[in-house]
A and B are shown apart, each in its own frame.
Chain A
Amino acid sequence: MEMQSKVTTLENALSFINDGCVLMFGGFGGVGNPPTLIKGILQKGTKDLTLIGNDAGFPEIGIGKIVSAERVSKLITTHIGSNPIAGKLMVEGKMEVEFCPQGILAERIRAGGAGLGGVLSDIGMGSMIEVGKQKVEMGGKTYLIESALQADVAIVHAKKADYFGNLIYDKSARNTNPLVATAGRVTIVEAEEIVAPGMLDPESIITPGIYVDMIVESEGVNWKWAWE
């Protein structure tokens, strides 16, 4: 049995990322953002995106580039402190920003991929976080209902992919990528290395290929700037 390859061209992958789409991205502080796909989105000129992901990156690195280029109409994230342009766009009313506690954003994305409606959380009770959210009482405690998040397209960075889309990651560049990989109606992976099925240890596969629709080869990453 030979598995059909999901490896495709950058052009084909980008054809699924269009104006107005809800785009979820993997990565944390720039590290783990898929740079080749991001460069492609910038070059294609895609705009009016609803972005969902951990943070706004840095002005000139990672997902931050898309924010800085004013391609984003709404951002659902946990913080934008590392990208002052994001703060400026928000204050100027050019980009709507919805803030979410970091672990709760991760859970909302996981819930979206796992076919759950959401999770019950006690994080941020009595703070701005609870504004507009339903509450439930259970076992004498009050919880916020944090709704699941899904995306039209999820973009992910991986260390290695096999043709079927089984993925492994690289140290802390794993971060939100395995979660994001599950929550896109179309999931596109940028991989540093692409191998044949069977080359990855089935015990060590972090993202089973069932979640992956397309794989493009990475042109390589350079995240060092974030701390230099």
Chain B
Amino acid sequence: MTATIERPATTASAPSTTTTLTMAGAINAGLRAAMDRDPKVLLMGEDIGALGGVFRVTDGLHKDFGDDRVMDTPLAESGIVGTAIGMAMRGYRSVIEIQFDGFIFPAYDQITTQLAKMHYRSQGQITLPIVIRVPFAGGIGAVEHHSESPEALFAHTAGLRIVSPATPQDAYDLIQQSIACPDPVMFFEPKARYWDKGEVDTARVSAQLDAADGQSAGTAEMAKARVAREGADVTLVAYGPTVRLALQAAEVAAKDGTDVEVIDLRSISPLDSGAVVASAKRTGRVVVVHEAPTSFGSGAELSARVTEQAFFHLHAPVLRVGGFHTPYPGATYEHDYLPSLDRVLDAVDRVIQH
């Protein structure tokens, strides 16, 4: 099994289905496609209607789909997730927008004790295909509670799937695969990347999801890491906001003669540790970089798994670069707090010199 996701080249004669989109635009287009595909898909959240969301990710959807499918909810996150659960029991697939990372916690109980467990508690009789979109991570100079990376706080809980796109293409594909998935999915959107542009082929995921086994195929693909850059010396693992950073670091390191492989995890639960282990077995050196605090973060799980599965291939311990064990500091500090190009390169150096 390969860790890369194959994108068959669209045949030259077909009309082009490739377009340039920002990540926000790609999610918007993906939501629209999902709503067109399935009338049971609803959007729920605070200010997602007329305003189009504080990041404008749902821009235009209220106008086109109306109050019934794009619902401005009361200001209560637990209420949003809880009512979405009830609606899912009648077949509705709600895509919830949590306004900012730091405001997901009022819904934590509904997410971890209810949403995550209902399928299990009902011996599979109830499925809750709910997607929770969370603009997350920092770098935009925001005030408190608007720059956090809480993904590890959900990954420990069985029953949830967790993904995070790093490119417009993945944003477009993953949002639709998440909506089609019968399991609840937490969809972490790197808000600092919302305005990054990229090519998006809109045909492939449509074809996949329109096929008979679309749900399964989409869900399986969602769970796979992507090799964003091949390399032989060091494996650099990232997801969401740090993928671009990792690629930059790889460029710089290349100038110093270090050939860095960059893996974009895409999925945190399940964690595609297999893809990382395979790479680690070749490079012998792994660095993982995320914005969340290092301590008890996703990097810890990755480090533990890679060490368990590739121990004798490793030339050095898996190193972690991430936020510190402090609350997210004031915006003037965020570029010291967040993993930077220098800190990533420093870790790459250390893993080589260990």
**Co-complex (A, B):** no
- Chain B positions within 8 Å of A, measured between CB atoms, are none
